[in-house]
């Protein structure tokens, strides 16, 4: 065999190997991306609020005026707000009421008690508050959190569900396995004792989670894990990587228009649209 033919054979062989490589390594990625869209498509839109303020201070604030307009629009369009129990039940049955949404609030700022809860009650609408116990009865500059008394009052209202946002709001993928376990299970136990009700859902602080965090959630008995986007966990069960729509002043002048568009298009929104956006409003 001359060297020309040998070279041709080697080239063909390398070409085949390249094709095999591309097939085996890119197919699972494509499948995972597809799976991520398909699983989310089963869920109703999940809204993520932080604080409701008379005057916004930060990108994640929503004014009372905007919040009321959003609730009114949902009502007017025939959307039903789900309790956490209904949402989890819907995930298990893979069936939700037509036109429903899940309203969630992270961190437990006092605006949820002073402004959000009264507006939700007026309209008989459900919401879930994700609380991290370390913040209760404290205040960051301009951002007081709920008091213990206020939280108990919210928890006693059948319209509202309380979820965990861990004990101290860490990046869950960056702490030791022991700390991770404590953050996830202690917050559940603490909030269950405080509210006298089961705490079945957790929202990951900063939307930060991985497979080991999800394993801890399952171990602790949580039925759902709420993210900001669903990056990196496309192969994980959808119920532990639920993306949420980031509400806030960050959406800019078109925020009300975007709010409506996002609620309608949640099921087919690209992952980038769920990116968490921090920073000062001013």
Positions touching Zn ion (CB under 5 A) are 106-107, 205
Residue nearest to Zn ion (CB): 106
CA distance to 63, 181, 245, per residue, from 282 (Å): 15, 38, 22
Nearest approach, Cβ of 204 to Zn ion (angstroms)? 9
Pairing of strands 201-203, 224-226: parallel
Nearer to Zn ion, 106 or 183 (CB): 106
Nearest approach, Cβ of 205 to Zn ion (angstroms)? 5
Q: Fill in the DSSP letter of residue 139.
A: E
Is 202 within 8 Å of 164 (Cβ atoms)? yes
Is 226 in a helix, a strand, or coil? Answer: strand
Of 277, 260, 203, 268, nearest to 34 (Cα)?
268
Is 131 within 8 Å of 162 (Cβ atoms)? yes
Give the C-alpha separation, 185 to 83, whole Å.
Answer: 22
Three-state SS across 195-217? HCCCCCEEECHHHCCCHHHHHHH
The residue behind tokens 């205040």 is 139
Would you put residue 248 in left (φ > 0), alpha (ψ -120 to 50) or beta?
Answer: left
Nearest approach, Cβ of 129 to Zn ion (angstroms)? 12
Nearer to Zn ion, 74 or 202 (CB): 202
Nearer to Zn ion, 111 or 205 (CB): 205
Q: Which tokens in the block code for residue 45? A: 């839109």
Nearer to Zn ion, 95 or 174 (CB): 174
Is 128 in a helix, a strand, or coil? Answer: strand
Nearer to Zn ion, 145 or 240 (CB): 145
Nearer to Zn ion, 74 or 188 (CB): 188
Nearest approach, Cβ of 50 to Zn ion (angstroms)? 7
Nearest approach, Cβ of 108 to Zn ion (angstroms)? 9
Nearer to Zn ion, 226 or 240 (CB): 226
Nearest approach, Cβ of 12 to Zn ion (angstroms)? 56
Beta bridge partners of 30: none
Nearest approach, Cβ of 187 to Zn ion (angstroms)? 12
């Amino acid at each position: 065999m001359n060297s020309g033919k040998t070279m041709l054979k080697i080239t063909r062989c390398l070409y085949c190997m390249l094709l095999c490589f591309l097939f085996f390594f890119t197919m699972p990625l494509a499948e995972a991306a597809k799976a991520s869209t398909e699983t989310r498509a089963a869920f109703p839109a999940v809204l993520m609020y932080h604080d409701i303020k008379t005057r916004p201070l930060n990108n994640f604030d929503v004014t009372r005026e905007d919040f009321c307009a959003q609730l009114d629009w949902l009502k007017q369009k025939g959307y039903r707000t789900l309790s956490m129990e209904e949402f989890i039940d819907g995930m298990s049955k893979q069936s939700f009421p037509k036109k429903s949404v899940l309203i969630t609030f992270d961190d437990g700022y006092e605006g949820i008690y002073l402004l959000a809860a009264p507006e939700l009650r007026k309209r008989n609408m459900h919401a879930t508050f994700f609380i991290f116990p370390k913040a209760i009865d404290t205040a960051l500059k301009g951002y007081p959190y709920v008091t213990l008394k206020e939280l108990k009052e919210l928890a006693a209202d059948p319209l509202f569900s309380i979820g965990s946002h861990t004990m101290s709001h860490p990046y869950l993928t960056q702490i030791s396995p022991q700390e991770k376990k404590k953050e996830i299970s202690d917050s559940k136990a603490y909030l269950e004792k405080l509210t006298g009700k089961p705490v079945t859902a957790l929202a990951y602080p900063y939307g930060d989670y991985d497979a080991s965090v999800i394993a801890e959630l399952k171990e602790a008995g949580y039925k759902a894990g709420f993210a900001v986007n669903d990056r990196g966990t496309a192969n994980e069960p959808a119920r532990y990587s639920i993306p949420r729509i980031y509400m806030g002043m960050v959406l800019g002048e078109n925020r009300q228009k975007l709010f409506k568009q996002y609620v309608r298009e949640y099921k087919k929104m690209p992952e980038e649209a769920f990116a968490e956006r921090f920073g000062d409003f001013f």
